[in-house]
Amino acid sequence: MHPFLRIIFLACPLGAAACLTACGDHGPAGPPSAAAPPAAAVLSPELQAVYDRSCKNCHAVPASGAPRAGDARAWAPRIAQGADILIEHTFSGYKSMPPLGACMDCNEKQYRALIEFMSGASLKN
């Protein structure tokens, strides 16, 4: 639990549980890895540019709530949901994740490649 939230929890005698109803839920997540391993895949120069200008703003920022690129453990429960759900969340946005992953011109194939790059996993369907 974030130290700030721990304080809030203690400070809410009238409804501690209610104080935390929506806290810190950015989708299913495993505990973050101490050090993010390098991603398994390599991006084309074009997709690397997309990653740098869009994905990186959150997926390379510690504690942003987004699973970090290369952190296979954080990505595992997301990957387990299947490609269809991940793509839908990418298209429509999901909680902190903005629609289209902030890439205004990407197509589905490119989104799949970017997810595979960041997760280090292969999307099955």
Partner 1 sequence: MQFTRRELIRTFGVAGALGAFGGLPGLLRAADRERIVVWRNWSGGQSCIPADRPAPANEEELAALIRGSAGRVIRPVGSGHSFSPLVPTEGTIVSVAKMSGLISHDNASLQAEFWAGTPVSQMGGPLKEIGQALPNMADIDYQTLAGAIATSTHGTGAKYGSYSSQVVGLRLVTAAGEILDCDAHVHPEVFNAARVSLGALGIVSRVRLQNRNAFRLRSKNWVQDTEELLEDMPRLIRENDHFEINSLLHSDVSVASALNETQETQTKPKEGGGDADKVNMLEGVHTRYRNSPRIQATLLNFIARHLVSFPDAVDDSFKVFANVRDVRFNEMEYEVPAEAGPACLREVLKKIRDQNLNSFIPTEFRYVKGDDIPLSMFQGRDTCAISVHQYYDLDYHNFFAQIEPIFWKYDGRPHWGKLHTLNARLLEPLYPKWKDFLAVREALDPGGRFLNAHLRSVFGVRG
Contact residues: partner 1, CB under 8 A: 2, 4-5, 7-8, 11-12, 14-15, 18-24, 26, 49-50, 52-53, 57-58, 61-66, 87, 91-93, 95-96, 98-100, 102-105, 107-109
Q: Whose structure tokens read 């699973």?
A: 67
At its nearest, how many Å lie between partner 1 and the CB of residue 91?
Answer: 6
At its nearest, how many Å lie between partner 1 and the CB of residue 114?
Answer: 14
Q: Which residues 6+ apart lie within 8 Å of 26 measured at CB?
A: 65, 66, 95, 96, 97
User: Is 101:114 a contact under the CB 8 Å cutoff?
Assistant: yes
At its nearest, how many Å lie between partner 1 and the CB of residue 99?
Answer: 4
Question: What string of DSSP letters covers 84-109?
Answer: HHHHHHHHH-BTTBPGGGG-SS--HH
| Closer residue to partner 1 (CB): 81 or 96 | 96
